[in-house]
Structure 1
Amino acid sequence: MVSKIAMGLFTAGVLALGLSSAAMADAKASIEAREACMKANGAMMKVMVPVIKGQKPYDKAANDAAIAAAEAACAGWAGWWGEDTKPGGDLKTEAKAEIWTDPAGFEAAGGAYMKAVAAVKASADEASFKAAFPDLGKSCQGCHEKFRQADQ
C-alpha cells in the first residue's frame, strides 16, 4: 500500500510537471506570435521596398493593407515578452537578452517604429510616402541590430 505522503509527493510532482508544461506552452506560443508579427512586418516591407526602388508604382491601398495586416499580426505584442521567453532556455528565439536588460531601449525602439509606421500610414501620395519610408527602414534596422540575434 502506498503511503499518503508518497501519494501526495507523487501528485505534487505530476501537478508541477503539468504546470511547467503549460508555462512552456505559453512561452512557445508567445515566441511563435512574435515570429508571426515579424513575418507580417517583412511582408509589409515587401510591398513597400519595390516602390522605393522604382520597381513598382506607388499604391496607397496596397500599403494600407500591408500595414493593417502587420498591425493585426502584432496586436498582442506587449504580452509576448515574459521572462520565460528569454534566449538561452529550451525554446529557440532570435530575441537578444538586451530586450530584458535594456527595456527602456527596447521600448524606445518600438516607439520609433510605431512613429515611422504612422507616418507611412498617413502618407497620401508617392512623394509623402517616399519621404516617410526611410525612417521606417531605419527603425527596423536599428531594432534588428540591437535586439535580434542572427538567424540560428
Structure 2
Amino acid sequence: MRTSVTLLLALAAGAGLAHEGVENPAVMARMGLMKDIGAATGTLGEMVKGEVAFDAGRAAAARAALVEAADRVPALFEARESDPKSEARPAVWEDWDGFVVRAEAMQAATRGLETGSAAALRASFADLGASCRACHEDYRLKD
C-alpha cells in the first residue's frame, strides 16, 4: 500500500508542471480535473502515510471532491480533443468502452472511501490507488 500512496502523490506533484503552455480549453479542463483529483488524493495519501494527522473533516471533504471529480471524468474525455501538451493517449478514444470501465472503477473506489477513522481510510485507500494506476497505465502518456 505504501507504493500506491507514493505513486499517487508523485502523480499529483507532477500534474502542475504539465499544464504550462496548454492552448486547447478542453484539454486544459481535463488537466485541471486531474490536478483536482491529485490534490484530493494527496490530502488523503498524507493521512494514510501518517505525514499529517488524520482529520475526519478534511478526509470527508477530500472524498466528496473525489466523488464529484470522478463523476466528471467520462464527460470531459468524451470529445477527442488534443493539444501538444496533452497527456491523454489516443487509446482513450480508440478503446472508449475500456476507458469508461476504468472511469467507473474510479467512481466506485471514490464512493468506497471510508473517512470515519484513520484505520478505515487506510483500508479503503488501496482501491483508489489501483483504479488510478490501471487507468494511467493504459491511457496516460508516460514521461
TM superposition score normalised by structure 2:
0.72
How far the C-alpha of 1:57 sits from its partner, in A, is: 1.9
How far the C-alpha of 1:113 sits from its partner, in A, is: 0.6
Cα 1:138–1:73, aligned 2, differ >3 Å: closer, same or farther? Answer: closer
Q: Which amino acid in the other structure matches residue 64 of structure 1?
A: A
- After superposition, the C-alpha distances for 1:81-113 in whole angstroms (9 at most, x for unaligned) are 313x14xxx553110111111112101111111
| In structure 2, distance between residues paired with 1:126 and 1:28 | 40
> Could you tell me which of 120, 123, 138 is aligned with 1:128?
120
Correspondence for 1:105: 98
Contact 1:36 1:73 in 2 (8 A): no
- Answer with 1 or 2: which has the greater Rg: 1
Cα 1:34–1:100, aligned 2, differ >3 Å: closer, same or farther? Answer: same
| In structure 2, distance between residues paired with 1:102 and 1:37 | 21
Contact 1:28 1:91 in 2 (8 A): no
Q: CA RMSD in A?
A: 2.2
Correspondence for 1:31: 27
| In structure 1, distance between residues paired with 2:68 and 2:110 | 13
> Could you tell me which of 90, 108, 116 is aligned with 1:115?
108
Unmatched tracts of structure 1, length 5 or more: 1-26
How far the C-alpha of 1:69 sits from its partner, in A, is: 3.5
- Secondary structure of 2:112's match? helix
Correspondence for 1:11: none
How far the C-alpha of 1:76 sits from its partner, in A, is: 4.4
How far the C-alpha of 1:54 sits from its partner, in A, is: 1.8
How far the C-alpha of 1:47 sits from its partner, in A, is: 0.6
Correspondence for 1:144: 136
| In structure 2, distance between residues paired with 1:136 and 1:75 | 14
Higher relative contact order (CA 8 A, sep 6+): 2
Where do 1:1-80 residues align within 5 Å? Answer: 28-72=24-68, 76-80=72-76
Contact 2:40 2:63 in 1 (8 A): yes
Aligned residues: 120
Unmatched tracts of structure 2, length 5 or more: 1-22
State the identity as a percent: 31
TM superposition score normalised by structure 1:
0.69
